[in-house]
């Protein structure tokens, strides 16, 4: 069985930041799984593209997965308030597994308390939040710091996914 990567899903995700990595991860032989509050829930992206969650948070053991992807959009501002989601991110960080965020997805990593002392990037709109959380902000298409991978925007997706695959491959 191939390694699985959890992709966080909820209402108002940034369509490209969820769908593009999902397809590229599958293409690379990994199993991208959409995880949300409940399994089988339909969520619409900011631009209306739907996705259906494969798993609900309560049904997932993070030990069984190689990493987590935090897409951007307006979704992260809502989901960063859910303690179980923050616990998931902390688990992947403590285990040294992939923690990937793009654009506003970094808000979830900030709220989970896993960016302090790390090099990070994200949307310019969260630069101050990253800096105030103790991250060293870099305005680059992709930043890899150990098992953390971050990017700024949809245009950065090709480099972002290549970096994610590199971390998962070890």
Active site residue 43: no
Q: What does the pLDDT look like over 124-141, one tens digit per residue?
A: 999 999 999 999 999 999
Q: Residue 101: phi, psi to the nearest 5?
A: -140, 145
Buried b (16+ CB within 10 A) or exposed e, 25-41: beebebebbbbbbebee
Spell out the domain ranges in the chain: 4-169
Overall fold of domain 4-169: Rossmann fold (3.40.50)
Cα–Cα distance, 1 to 165 (Å, whole number):
17
Q: What does the pLDDT look like over 38-64, one tens digit per residue?
A: 999 999 999 999 999 999 999 999 999
> How is residue 118 annotated by DSSP?
S
Cα–Cα distance, 155 to 170 (Å, whole number):
25
| pTM greater than 0.85 | yes
Cα–Cα distance, 95 to 80 (Å, whole number):
20
Closest CA to 77 of 145, 38, 129, 41: 129
Catalytic residue among 43, 65, 91, 104: 104
Radius of gyration in angstroms for the set of CA atoms belonging to the chain, rounded to a whole number: 14
Q: What does the pLDDT look like over 92-124, one tens digit per residue?
A: 999 999 999 999 999 999 999 999 999 999 999
**Which pLDDT score is estimated for 1?**
46
Cα–Cα distance, 170 to 166 (Å, whole number):
6
**Average pLDDT for 76-91:** 96
């Amino acid at each position: 069985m191939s390694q699985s990567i959890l992709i966080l899903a909820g209402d108002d995700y940034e369509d490209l930041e969820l769908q593009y990595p999902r397809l590229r991860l599958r293409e690379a032989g990994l199993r991208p799984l959409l995880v949300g509050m409940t399994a089988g829930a339909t969520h619409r992206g900011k631009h209306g593209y739907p996705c259906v969650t494969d798993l609900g948070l309560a049904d997932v053991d993070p030990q069984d997965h190689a990493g987590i992807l935090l897409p951007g959009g307006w979704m992260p501002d809502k989901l960063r308030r859910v303690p179980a989601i923050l616990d998931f991110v902390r688990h992947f960080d403590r285990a040294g597994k992939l923690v990937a965020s793009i654009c506003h997805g970094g808000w979830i990593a900030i709220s989970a308390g896993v960016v302090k002392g790390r090099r990070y990037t994200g949307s310019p709109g969260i630069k101050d939040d990253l800096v105030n959380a103790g991250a060293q902000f870099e305005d680059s298409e992709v930043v890899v710091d150990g098992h953390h991978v971050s990017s700024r925007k949809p245009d950065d997706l090709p480099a972002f996914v290549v970096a994610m695959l590199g971390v998962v491959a070890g």
